[in-house]
Structure 1
Amino acid sequence: MLAADRDALTCDLAETYHILDMTALPVPLLATLAAGLRGDSRIRLAMAGETATAAELLQAAVLDRLTTLCWMQTKDGAHGRKRPPSVVAALSGKDKPKQTNTRPVAFATPADFERARARILAKGR
């Protein structure tokens, strides 16, 4: 567990057992306490490669079904267009958002900012 994610284990031990310094414990006791952590603890999720608990995934699945039912009642749904994105896919990492250019931009003067803003607004029209 330490090799998987030391920070997650530290947080789980602090939250569950109020242990702030796990190095002060004997190794067998630490192993016993770590094995007794909840199934949805940070370290267990990290070791399983999961990002959400089963309850969160179930709630997301319910939301996905509801939004799909609502979407089917629209004109877009009747023609199979603009399907709502899946929350389950986003939580499980299967739906990777498209990478956009998110580099920060700095301007030397307010006039430079206004020119860049005008250029962006002109593209949108």
Structure 2
Amino acid sequence: MIRLDEDALICDLAETYNILDYKKLALNELAIFACGLRDDSRIKLKMSENILSPNQLLLAGIQDRLSLLVYSKTKDAEKGINYPKLILDNMENKINGFTSGEDFMKERERIMKEGKNAN
């Protein structure tokens, strides 16, 4: 965990156990605390190569199904037009994380332009 992302581990230990300096712990204590972190902790998400927690994925799936249910009752659905954009499809294709605030702002601007063009 330390080699993968020491900062994420430090944040998780501080948030969960109020451990601010893990180097003062015995190795076996550190291992116990690290294993006890929630599955949606920063370091465990990074270890599993997931960006979103299982709960976030579930909520996105619920939103997608609700959107499809509502859409199915519209005149657009009868004509097969204006199919709703699904959150999970968008996430699977586009979420890679950002390496800087500038990258985030560029992606945000691109998404905002897409939204304006869709209306």
The equivalent residue for 1:21 is 21
Instruction: Return the alpha-carbon distance in structure 1 between the equivalents of residues 24 and 49 of structure 2.
Output: 29
TM-fit CA distance, 1:27: 1.9
Amino acid at match of 1:30: L
- 1:95 pairs with 83, 88, 93, which one? 93
**What is the CA RMSD across the aligned residues, in angstroms?**
1.7
TM-fit CA distance, 1:96: 2.2
Identity in percent: 43
The equivalent residue for 1:123 is none
Greater helix share, 1 or 2?
2
Q: Radius of gyration: which is bigger?
A: 1
Q: TM-score, normalised by structure 2?
A: 0.71
Equivalent pairs, count? 96
Q: TM-score, normalised by structure 1?
A: 0.68
TM-superposition CA deviations, 1:21-60 (whole Å, max 9, x none)? 1122222211121011111211111110111111221111
TM-fit CA distance, 1:89: 2.8
Instruction: Return the alpha-carbon distance in structure 2 between the equivalents of residues 32 and 20 of structure 1.
Output: 16
TM-fit CA distance, 1:86: 1.3
Match of 1:50, SS state, is: coil
